Amino acid sequence: MGNSINLVADIGGTNIRIGLSDSSGNIDALSVYQCNQYPSLSAVISQYLSEQQLEHHDIHACLAIACPVENDLITMTNLPWEFSRSQLKQELQLKTLLLINDYTAIAHAIPLLSDNQKVKIGQGEKVAGKPISICGPGTGLGVANLISDNGKWISLSGEGGHVDFAPIDRLELDILRYLHTKYSHVSYEQLLSGLGIEQIYQAIAWSKQLDVPVVSAEEISKKALTNDCELCSETLAQFCRILGSFAGNLALTLGSFGGVYIAGGIVPRFIDYFNNSEFRKRFEEKGRLSGFNQNIPTYVITESQPGILGAASYLLQFNKEAL
């Protein structure tokens, strides 16, 4: 067999990014594939291995994936892919196969981010070694938390994006009523995602008794940012408010004095707008505990590949522990 190779991947609902990690966690030979162009995860990774001519190397792999990863059978939340962890390892002839939640990977990237890879929103100062929370609207709503234990970071993963949506004013009650016409359970993911932007738009139209066509999240955001559509502007403003409330809930739950970080593919597209929105106001509005959240800083991650960086960091930590 040839040299030992560290292969890392970040698998979302839309794209899969695959690269090679060196001993310092730097990423090389990065390729991006569209998930819907392939019948399975194995097919994508096999193509990458072939393109990089890695078929005859010892491969240690860490895959960050957008779904629960506790069991051998992995069923993707936002993709029609299902596979066995053990069969995938055998089929691809991998020496090591680690599967971690995509937000576990992003969590492990947070301590490595420089000021050039994130933007601070509002007040508050992070406290070294204190818990960190991450949430990211994208295809879905990912959530993770990070705690420090004897100098080593440990990610607490879960499915926090699927907790119950909690409206706090009349408009949000209307939004909940509208979504209850479609779903028996309304989670924050139904609002804080690409689909969520579209559903907020539809819900506000419903509350105003307006008959509107189906509009994509991309078009809604674009028209909101150029002030070409009042309903689109209301939608994006409401999206930022709801995200503020949700991020504030995470801060309260964990005491996230290491900061709350916004990840995902949506918010980085309109950071200036986001900074001037009511996100931070809602983050801090927690009644008697408002003073608690006022001290906790919030950031938007601008690094384009936090998941794959975190997968590399996680794999390096695993390799060191295995020695």
Q: What is the CATH number of the domain that holds 151?
A: 3.40.367.20
Is the residue at 112 inside a domain? no
Q: Cα separation of 243 and 265, whole Å?
A: 14
Predicted confidence (pLDDT) per residue in 126-183, tens digit: 999 999 999 999 988 989 999 998 878 899 877 899 999 999 999 999 999 999 999 9
Residue 123: phi and psi, rounded to 5, are: -90, -175
Q: Are residues 215 and 287 in the same domain?
A: yes
Pairwise pLDDT comparison (67 vs 10), residue with the higher score: 10
Helix axes 230-254, 170-180, angle to 10 degrees: 100
DSSP 3-state assignment of 261? Answer: strand
Show the domain range for 192.
117-301
Residue 261 domain-assigned? Answer: yes
Q: pTM for the complete prediction?
A: 0.84
11 and 134 in a single domain? The answer is no
Residues 286 and 314 in one domain: no
- Looking at the fold, whether 246 and 317 belong to one and the same domain comes out as no
What is the pLDDT, as a whole number, of residue 145? 94
The closest of 158, 174, 169, 138 to 264, measured between CA atoms, is 138
- Beta-ladder partners of 7: 20, 61
Tell whether the model's pLDDT for residue 323 goes beyond 90. Answer: no
The pLDDT tens digits of the residues spanning 185-207 come to 999 999 999 999 999 999 999 99
184/219 same-domain check: yes
Does residue 17 fall inside a structural domain? yes
Say yes or no to pLDDT of 100 above 90: yes
Res. 110 pLDDT band, cuts 50 70 90: very high
Q: Answer yes or no: do 211 and 88 share one domain.
A: no
Cα–Cα distance, 301 to 312 (Å, whole number):
18
Task: Check pLDDT > 60 for residue 47.
Answer: yes
Q: For the chain, what is the domain count?
A: 2
Q: Answer yes or no: do 246 and 129 share one domain.
A: yes
Q: Do 46 and 179 reside in the same domain of the chain?
A: no
- Same domain (yes/no): 297, 155: yes
In a domain, 207, yes or no: yes
